[in-house]
Amino acid sequence: MRRRVDALPPLREVLSGGLTAKKSLGQHFLFDLNLTDKIARAARVAGAPPDAPLAGATVVEVGPGPGGLTRSLLKAGAEVVAVEKDARAAAVLAPLQEAADGRLTVHIADALTADWRAIAPEGAVICANLPYNVATPLLVGWLTEGPWPPWWASATVMVQREVAGRMVGAPGRDDYGRLGVLTGVRCHASAVFDVPPTAFVPPPKVWSTVVRLDPKPEAADTPIGALSRVTAAAFGQRRKMLRSSLRSLVSDPEALLGDAGIAPTERAERLELRDFVRLAEIYADRLASAVEREA
């Protein structure tokens, strides 16, 4: 299969047929197969040989476009499930599907509304150059779904460097926010390498970063719905004290903060992950008690 994929025409020749990147879809295509090979290697699964880092894995790719990263995933030994919103890509990917001998399935669908558990098998690996305009909502969706651990065993994604900074941000940093809390509570996250704008066609105005996420099994006990709501309120007005920003969540934020052992004058950007988890647990207990009283 590797030889058949390698024998395909160069990507620039493939795109000469008229598939151009759409700004409305956040598309920026990768033509450098050395770079896409590097991304595929970053998604390595445990126990796979060095020359086939994804051997035996099913990889979910979002936004394959003309299929540059898709080629690298196939060469790395993966079976690929690609989800692409742009129907124009189907014809461009058809020769790659034929060369893949049944190892590539393409779904023309919106990734934001996709039923991932129906599309992907349990334990699949996510590896994708995420379209810029859907990267954050996609990540939040994957991080807040239940049950936990999720259907995906790991996620290696390329996003805008600013988004990557928010994913791995730490308390006290300007880029620390809701995405960083959700990521840090549920996953081990690491920035793998940066990618310059010149690697893309058309080149974006910003750098990109490849980030690797590995789910934390112990995060199964975190009330993720409550955490999602607490972080949305806390960072919705991040410069305000928590006694003010949490007023959109509860009528008595100072009591909630007191129960969690957090000063009401504290700000969201200074709280540790464990502080947000404690707040979420207390908030979830409050909601459960309210339901019991109404029953």
What DSSP element (H or E) covers 225? helix 224-236
Which amino acid does the sequence have at 246?
Answer: L
Q: Which two tokens stand for residue 50?
A: 């060095």
Q: Which residues are annotated as a binding site for S-adenosyl-L-methionine?
A: 28, 30, 63, 84, 110, 129
C-alpha to C-alpha distance for 79 and 82, rounded to whole angstroms:
10
Q: Which two tokens stand for residue 143?
A: 């991080």
DSSP string computed for 7-37: TSPPHHHHHTTS----GGGT--EE--HHHHH
C-alpha to C-alpha distance for 195 and 35, rounded to whole angstroms:
9
Q: Which residues are annotated as a binding site?
A: 28, 30, 63, 84, 110, 129
Write the CB contacts of 295 (distance below 8 Å, at least 6 apart in sequence). Answer: none
